[in-house]
Copies of this chain bind each other. A is one copy, B any other.
Amino acid sequence: MASSVAETKELENHSDCCVKLCNPNVATMKEDVLYHFNLNTATHDFPAMFGDVKFVCVGGSPSRMKAFIRYVASELGLDHPGMDYPNICAGTDRYAMFKVGPVLSVSHGMGIPSIAIMLHELIKLLYHARCSGITVIRIGTSGGIGLEPGSVVITRQAVDACFKPEFEQVVLGKRVIRSTDLDEQLVQELTQCSADLSEFTTVVGNTMCTLDFYEGQGRLDGALCFYTEKDKQEYLKAAYAAGIRNIEMESSVFAAMCSACGLRGRRALGRCSPLPFFCPAGSASMPFSGTSPWAPHHQHLPSSHPAPKACFWMGWHPSRLCSARLCLACGQMQILSVSPVTHMPLGEMRKMLERPTSAELRFCC
């Protein structure tokens, strides 16, 4: 079994590019085809297209990620009347990608394999573009356990369906276990941030990442169900006792891949940080519905809708100075403040965001 320690050592032998890969082969390739993005280093100028990226937000639905980039453009003052945000991945419908200023918004589909493919190609894209000081954020809905619908969960650790804090990958027929830990200090600061906002119920807990939506999450309404309501409740009680507060389908591989690639809060390297997830959580027995206010349908959520919000840091330790409020249902984001102690006017933040070099972007690198 390969260990993450061995993998990390290998990582440190690689080049000193700001975004690191855990693969020495890529640097020697004449051409790199990011097949599922329909992008190719031989035909696209990655540094010109993506070199100024500082924030990457990823989520399941293409339309939600497009709505998100529209709002970001508006918030950053980078929009114009009638402006469109073309899909950078035109020519494939595997994923959709949008960009405005320093923000990239990418869809990842549903489930661990789907987001894993996207993350492999996203990390390579950032590497080829010579990006630095990147923050990657996953946004998404989830099913809550023992929580008021609409609550926000700050994930301490992603766990599997057996409640283990690990992600198992089969590589060349061998099982490799990778860590899914998240930054405890960051969790605490996020909790404080939520308390300061005082606009929604927030809990800190573990997030269970399953490989299946129906049987995997104990639902009683799939095409297959060989257990009872009582069995399900016992499982969810055990999950709750293990510190699990919500369930979704992508968190473990997101945490594991960022960690394996050294994308955690390692200040010396200036890499991007896997932030704890913020998931509006319904009760575990609540069926997801297109009409529920926390469903991922932005068309149900006009800007005045009292949708669930989440606050997250856009920076990372030791300079995680920017907080923002995010509507997780429609992907709309409102930048609120920078620094835990000082607040920066939005105009000043916009100017900082527009600057191309990470050295000047204290709040994001």
Chain A interfacial positions (CB closer than 8 Å to B) = 2, 6-7, 10, 21-26, 29, 32-33, 35-36, 38, 60-63, 91-94, 109-114, 116-117, 119-121, 123-124, 127, 160-163, 169-173, 176, 210-216, 218, 220-227, 231-232, 234-235, 238, 249, 257, 260-261, 287-290, 297, 299
Contact = CB atoms under 8 A, between A and B. Distances in A.
Contact of A224 (B221, B227, B249, B260): B260
A221 B29 contact: yes
A296 to B, nearest CB: 9
B2 A171 contact: no
A160 B168 CA distance: 14
A-side interface mostly: loop
A223 B288 contact: no
A315 to B, nearest CB: 23
A257 B227 contact: no
B170 A10 contact: no
A150 to B, nearest CB: 18
Contacts of A124: 222-223
Nearest to A7: B226
Q: How many copies does the complex hold?
A: 2
A24 B229 CA distance: 12
Contacts of A22: 223-226
Contacts of A93: 61-63
B224 A170 contact: no
Given A110-B113, A113-B110, A221-B26, A163 B173 contact: yes
B38 A290 contact: yes
B61 A221 contact: no
A290 B91 contact: yes
A231 to B, nearest CB: 6
B35 A225 contact: no
A222 B122 CA distance: 10
A124 B227 CA distance: 18
**Lowest 8 CB-CB distances: which A-B pairs, in order?**
A111-B113, A23-B225, A123-B223, A161-B170, A172-B235, A22-B224, A120-B222, A120-B223
Contact of A92 (B127, B227, B249, B290): B290
Contacts of A234: 172
Contacts of A211: 112-113, 116, 169-170, 211
B213 A113 contact: yes
A225 B123 CA distance: 13
